Amino acid sequence: MASRNLLLISIILVGAFMLFGCTSTKKCKADADCSNWQACEVTSQKCMTAAGYCTASFECNEFEQCDSRSHTCKLKAGKCASDADCYSWQECDSTTRDCKLKMGFCSDDSFCTKDFEACDTTTTHTCTPRTGRCNNDFDCAGWQLCNTSTNVCYPREGYCFTNLNCNPWESCDDRTNKCVVREGYCNNDLNCQGWQSCDQGTHRCLVAEKNCEFDNQCSSWQLCNTQSHVCEAKRDFCDATSDCSGGYTGTETCDPDTHKCVAKEGKCTADSSCKGWQYCDTAAYTCKPRTGYCGSDSDCKTNEGCDETTNRCYVLSCQQNADCSSGYTCDTLFTRSCQKSQ
């Protein structure tokens, strides 16, 4: 009988708790005497649950539960009171209080209607083209365009997926997706060394005009300078007067037939540069008559003239044959001058 009475008392206490809320045994005269989630009931001088607070979940809405720490009603997991309680791609169902997908959004690929699209479940929760597929150019990489008929991205001009997208003399660089010239080939002269040019037929770098790689690409008096790749005159030969001693202001000039440096007209560098009756004055680099020879009357003594056929000086005036040079006779009748013997 005692146990039955105890059970009855317990039921009455629980009912009172549910009806009036949790009370405190502490006496109060004002709210300040109670916990922050309680208010002082002046008549009974007891701390009661304040409005807006709770002590058990039955005091909350069906989709809420009472937080034992804050004594406030909080949403149950997965439930919502408004759209603000859901993700940006969800909305709150006012009937079930569940967050559900907004129109135009997705949670997995099954929501996508196009076979080339998949659900982006990490950021936007929208159906977007799979890698390499597209609806427009903006769905492709910067080096690609969209074929809207096949919904496939393809390389822009100059770009590539594989070598098949490039010219035969190019290969596809998989780091930049650009067609680059294969080793040993060229697109233009800039792909070649400075002394080469690009042959547009073979796309190979060939020796440019006026340049060389080997001696046999030069003239017979030249060799190929493998540093500058320009044909230069061999030693003791010349291409121009600038290759000769003193250059254009010097005493030599380049003979265009022999490509040898020879003395300029009226100049010499050695006796061999002069006529047989001359020698080379290496101080003045000019040919001068040897002793006993002449080039003009000025090279002879007073009363002598220059015989330009023999380049010898001869006496001009005479009284008798003995006064004349060898091979001359004196005209004693009229001119009194030495005349060449017949």
How confident is the model over 246-300, as pLDDT tens digits?
Answer: 888 888 899 999 999 988 887 888 898 888 999 999 888 888 999 889 999 999 9
Residue 208: burial class (beta carbons within 10 Å; 0-12, 13-18, 19+) = middle
Q: How many domains does the chain have?
A: 1
Q: Please say if the pLDDT value at position 61 is more than 90.
A: no
Please report the pLDDT score of residue 19 as a whole number: 39
Q: How far apart are CA 90 and CA 110, in angstroms?
A: 17
Residue at 26 is within a domain:
no
Residue at 342 is within a domain:
yes
- Containing structural domain, residue 302: 295-342
Residue 254 in contact with residue 238, Cβ under 8 Å? yes
Q: How far apart are CA 59 and CA 56, in angstroms?
A: 6
Lowest mean pLDDT among 41-45, 75-79, 140-144, 208-212: 75-79
- Report the chain's mean pLDDT, rounded to a whole number: 89
Residue at 2 is within a domain:
no
Residue at 331 is within a domain:
yes
Q: Please say if the pLDDT value at position 16 is more than 70.
A: no
Residue at 332 is within a domain:
yes
Residue at 176 is within a domain:
no
Residue at 319 is within a domain:
yes
- In 67-221 the beta strands, taken as DSSP E runs, fall at 73-75, 90-92, 99-101, 117-119, 127-129, 144-147, 152-155, 170-173, 178-181, 196-199, 204-207
How confident is the model over 145-160, as pLDDT tens digits?
Answer: 999 999 999 999 989 9
What number of H helices and E strands is found in the chain?
1, 25
Residue 24 CB contacts under 8 Å (≥ 6 apart), including other chains: 34, 35, 38, 46, 47
Residue at 301 is within a domain:
yes
Q: Is the dihedral of CA 179, 184, 187, 191 positive or negative?
A: positive
